[in-house]
Amino acid sequence: MARLTRRAVTHGLGAALAAPFLIRPAAAADFDVIVIGAGAAGLAAARKLTAAKKRVAVLEAGDRVGGRCFTEMRTFQRPYEQGAHWLHESEKFPLARLAEAAGLTLDKRAPNSQLRIPNLRGVRPRAGAFRPARESEAEEFYAGLVRSTRAIAEVAEINGNCSEALPLDLREWRETVEFLLGPYTCGADLRDMQPREFIVFEKPDHSMRVREGAGTLMRHLALGLPIQYFSAVTRIVWSAQGVEVETSRQKFSATAAILTVPAGVLAAGSIAFSPALPARHAEAVGRLKPGTVERVTLQFDPTALPADQLYIEQAENRRTAAGHINFFGSGLCHVQVGGSHARALAAEGEVALLAFATEWMANHFGADITRVVRQTHVTRWGSEPFTRGAFSYAAPQTGAARKTLSAPLGERLWFAGEAVHETMWGTVAGAWESGERAAEAAIGKKSG
């Protein structure tokens, strides 16, 4: 489509506002379907549509595919996962087959988990502050996790939050249980989550890691797709006749569109809708909050630390983290924070995040370990304009926001992404499934 002049764009915007029905008939549209966003949901939708011989355009705001599946090589000269690193396999997301076809290597082994307990609570010794949990202590902790999940399930249909449902006798394990079930798993404190949202979450049984990186897999899955980068969508005009999608440079028309941007981007109002979103959809967008998960990565000599271990500590408060140590034996140590603690650190800046992670490593491995750090990196997903945070979570008294958002507008505009999946939200598999479902619905919708 030819580039529009500023005058033409201004005139077109006014016409669209005044009369959305002026969208070109579907038969004259530029594309059958426009996919907005090239993350997992967008790639799934685009692959399904191209396989069905549809005329497709994929508009990606940034300069890469994958969204929050981001593996980059420059920082540490080896695969570095800034986002998702555990992938779940489902019927619509046959991870093993997709990775094999891309020539990538799957690793199904979970890292060795280590529970660490301070020798002297409240006192930071000079070195080796945390010891491994005894078998009886570990059993008490894991039993507390199981009892807490059951307790949340018992109040799933009652207004309130997940934290209120936890057993009162978790004692010194309460903060650790809250961290693992909330900030670490969901990107939000349990006090900010509704019980029903937590309970309906169904993580697939098969979980794997791609040695070359989740983002690397997404790049392979994007091969051959008609992706236009640096095309941030600013406005969508929709009606029963079709859709028009505008970026800062161009305007496209289509029979249908699939919108896959993260919930945080929708909530920020980065995309205008004409007519405005129906009240139910707008309310659903407002209730699906972007979670907060940040990762501070420190690089060491791979021989200096145990390989591929996940460290969790007996926390005294919300200022805690989980450490994936020596990831795949690469020397990279990911210190992951989430929820309100991560938001507070991120608000202070990268220096605060790095200082916390460095102290956390020193507490576990001794002060000397911080002297041999080779390089560091801090993620800032919350401040990225095209993500605005981690995966979504539903606040208390939210209702069925995900189901509401999955309903199409005018049978022409569909929403997709992890935020739309009712039972696998927060996962790549959930995002992929929602993208395929939206594509199938768009294919089934007749033109005109």
Give the Cα separation of 388 and 265 in Å (integer): 6
- 284 with 302, same domain: the answer is no
- Is residue 215 in some structural domain? no
pLDDT in tens, 90-146: 999 999 999 999 999 999 988 888 998 875 433 333 344 578 899 999 999 999 999
Give the Cα separation of 27 and 165 in Å (integer): 55
Q: Quick one: what percent of the chain has pLDDT higher than 90?
A: 79
What's the token pair of residue 407? 């309903």
The number of beta carbons lying within 10 Å of the beta carbon of residue 74 is: 6
DSSP element (H, E) containing 295: strand 293-299
CATH of the domain at 53: 3.50.50.60
* Lowest-pLDDT choice from 51-60, 202-211, 402-411: 202-211
Give the Cα separation of 263 and 285 in Å (integer): 7
- 253 with 317, same domain: the answer is no
DSSP class of residue 192 equals G
Residue carrying structure tokens 């920082």: 75
- 419 with 365, same domain: the answer is no
The overall pTM is greater than 0.85: yes
DSSP class of residue 303 equals G
Report the amino acid identity of residue 380: R
DSSP element (H, E) containing 310: strand 309-313
Q: What integer pLDDT is reported at residue 9 of this predicted model?
A: 29
- Is residue 267 in some structural domain? yes
Residue carrying structure tokens 């506002």: 17
- 271 with 414, same domain: the answer is yes
Q: What integer pLDDT is reported at residue 397 of this predicted model?
A: 75
- 116 with 201, same domain: the answer is yes
- 61 with 194, same domain: the answer is no
Give the Cα separation of 417 and 266 in Å (integer): 12
pLDDT in tens, 11-35: 333 333 333 334 555 557 899 999 9
Q: What integer pLDDT is reported at residue 99 of this predicted model?
A: 97
Give the Cα separation of 179 and 315 in Å (integer): 9
- Is residue 1 in some structural domain? no
Domain count of the fold of the chain: 3
- 297 with 433, same domain: the answer is no
- Is residue 296 in some structural domain? yes
DSSP class of residue 28 equals G
Q: Which of 210, 231, 249 delimits the end of a domain?
A: 210
- 148 with 87, same domain: the answer is no
Cα angle 357, 358, 360 (rounded to 5 degrees) comes to 60
pLDDT in tens, 327-381: 999 999 999 999 999 999 999 999 999 999 999 999 899 888 889 999 999 999 9
Structural domain of 99 = 71-107+206-210
Does residue 58 have a pLDDT over 80? Answer: yes
CA distances in angstroms from 249 to 32, 234, 270, 272, 386, listed in the order given = 20, 10, 16, 16, 18
Collapsed DSSP state (helix, strand, coil) of residue 432: helix
Q: What integer pLDDT is reported at residue 389 of this predicted model?
A: 95
Does residue 171 have a pLDDT over 70? Answer: yes
- Is residue 433 in some structural domain? yes
What's the token pair of residue 323? 């450490």
The number of beta carbons lying within 10 Å of the beta carbon of residue 135 is: 8
- 299 with 375, same domain: the answer is yes
- Is residue 217 in some structural domain? no
Collapsed DSSP state (helix, strand, coil) of residue 68: coil
Q: Which of 210, 234, 260 delimits the end of a domain?
A: 210
- 120 with 182, same domain: the answer is yes
Q: What integer pLDDT is reported at residue 6 of this predicted model?
A: 30
What's the token pair of residue 418? 């992890």
Give the Cα separation of 339 and 378 in Å (integer): 16
Collapsed DSSP state (helix, strand, coil) of residue 120: coil
For the segment 267-273, the average pLDDT, to the nearest whole number, is: 95
Q: Is the bond into 278 cis (omega within 30 degrees of 0)?
A: no
Most confident of 8-12, 53-57, 389-393: 53-57
Give the Cα separation of 163 and 152 in Å (integer): 8
- 32 with 172, same domain: the answer is no
First to last CA, the chain: 21
CB distance 130 to 362 below 8 Å = no
Those residues whose C-beta lies under 8 Å from the C-beta of residue 302, and which sit 6 or more positions away, are: 326, 329, 330, 331
Those residues whose C-beta lies under 8 Å from the C-beta of residue 71, and which sit 6 or more positions away, are: 79, 80, 81, 82, 212, 213, 214, 215, 216
Give the Cα separation of 219 and 217 in Å (integer): 5
Collapsed DSSP state (helix, strand, coil) of residue 50: helix
DSSP class of residue 181 equals I
- 201 with 324, same domain: the answer is yes
CATH of the domain at 361: 3.90.660.10
